[in-house]
Amino acid sequence: MIELHYYPSNASFAPHLLLEEIGVPYALRLVDRAQQGHNSPEYLKLNPNGLIPVLVDGDVVIYETAAILLHLADRHAGFAPAPGTAARADYYKWMVWLTNTLQAMLIHWFYPDRMAADAADVKAHAEVQIAPMLDQLEAQLQRHGGPWFLGGHYTAVDPLVFMLCRWTRLQARPAKARPTLAAYLQRVLERPATQRVVAKEQLPDPVY
Ligand SMILES: N[C@@H](CCC(=O)N[C@@H](CS)C(=O)NCC(=O)O)C(=O)O
C-alpha cells in the first residue's frame, strides 16, 4: 500500500490532497516533528534532507513534494494533461515554478533565521517578494476563467497551489486578498477530498 510520511499542514498536505482525490488506498505515517522524527536515522534513510514529505509507493521511495505529485499523476489517470501537448508544457511550467520559486520563498519566510542573523529583515523581504508571485496566480486564473488552476480540469497542480496559498494566510496581503484567487481557493476547499484531508489533519479555520 502507498505510504505518505506526513505532518499536519506541512508540505505533505499537497500529496495528501491528491491521494484523497485519486481515491486509492494509502496509509498516513506521522513524522513526529516534536521529537525530531524527521531527523531520525530511519527517516533520513527515506529522505537524507530530513524534510517532509516522503511517499513510498511499492518499490518507489520518493521525496520532494512536486515530484511526488508528478509521480502520482503519472500512475493514476485524470490529473495531468496528455504528454507532448501544450497543456502538458503549461502543467510542467507551473509545477516547477510553484516549487522552485514560490515554495522556496515561502520557506525563507517560515525559517528566516536560517538565512541571516537579522531574521526579521529576511522575513520582511521574503514577504515583499511573495506578493507579486501571488499576483501571478491571480493573473493566471483571470486569463482563462477557471474553474481550476490550469483551466477546465482539476490537475496535480491544484493541490500545490492550494497548499502554498494556505501558507500565506498570516501575511499582510495573503493569497485570498485577490478576488479571483479567493474564489478559486474556496472552490478547492469545498471539494469533498479537500474537506476529508482538512478533517484528517485537523486544520483549524481559516484553512487559507
Ligand atoms: N523542497 C521540499 C521542502 C519540504 C519542506 O520544507 N518540508 C518542511 C515542512 S513544510 C520540513 O520538513 N521542515 C523540517 C525542517 O526544515 O527542519 C519539498 O518540496 O518536499
Sorting pLDDT into bands at 50, 70 and 90, what band is 146? confident
Q: Which of 16, 41, 75 is the last residue of a domain?
A: 75
Determine the pLDDT at residue 20.
Answer: 98
My answer on whether 142 and 186 are in the same domain is yes
* pLDDT at residue 140 tops 90: yes
pLDDT digits (tens, 9 = 90+) for 97-139: 999 999 999 999 999 999 999 999 999 999 999 999 999 999 9
My answer on whether 68 and 90 are in the same domain is no
Is the C-beta atom of 10 inside 6 A of ligand 1?
Answer: yes
Is residue 179 assigned to a domain? yes
**Domains contained in the chain, number:** 2
Sorting pLDDT into bands at 50, 70 and 90, what band is 14? very high
CA Rg, the chain, in Å? 17
Q: Which of 9, 52, 114, 160 to mutate for ligand 1's pocket (most ligand atoms within 8 Å of CB)?
A: 52
Sorting pLDDT into bands at 50, 70 and 90, what band is 44? very high
The fraction of the chain above a pLDDT of 70, given in percent, is 100
My answer on whether 32 and 67 are in the same domain is yes
Is residue 159 assigned to a domain? yes
Rounded (10°) angle between helices 65-75 and 13-22: 10
Cα of 86 from ligand 1 centre, angstroms: 31
Determine the pLDDT at residue 154.
Answer: 98
Is residue 157 assigned to a domain? yes
- Domain hosting 164: range is 86-191
Among protein residues, the one with the nearest Cα to ligand 1's atom 6 is 51
**Cα separation, 60 vs 137, whole angstroms:** 32
42 to 9, 32, 36, 46, 57: CA distances (angstroms): 22, 12, 11, 7, 17
* pLDDT at residue 145 tops 90: no
Is residue 206 assigned to a domain? no
Cα of 189 from ligand 1 centre, angstroms: 23
Is residue 197 assigned to a domain? no
Q: What is the pTM of this model?
A: 0.98
User: Do 3 and 45 contact (CB within 8 A), yes or no?
Assistant: no
My answer on whether 93 and 187 are in the same domain is yes
Is residue 207 assigned to a domain? no
Residue 7: give its domain's CATH number.
3.40.30.10
Cα of 40 from ligand 1 centre, angstroms: 15
Is residue 196 assigned to a domain? no
Cα of 108 from ligand 1 centre, angstroms: 11
My answer on whether 93 and 65 are in the same domain is no
Q: Which of 51, 115, 163, 166 to mutate for ligand 1's pocket (most ligand atoms within 8 Å of CB)?
A: 51
Sorting pLDDT into bands at 50, 70 and 90, what band is 36? very high
Is the C-beta atom of 64 inside 6 A of ligand 1?
Answer: yes
My answer on whether 8 and 63 are in the same domain is yes
The ligand 1 atom at the shortest distance from the C-alpha of residue 64 is 20
Residue 127: give its domain's CATH number.
1.20.1050.10
pLDDT digits (tens, 9 = 90+) for 165-204: 999 999 999 999 999 999 999 999 999 999 999 999 999 9
My answer on whether 97 and 168 are in the same domain is yes
My answer on whether 90 and 187 are in the same domain is yes
My answer on whether 93 and 182 are in the same domain is yes
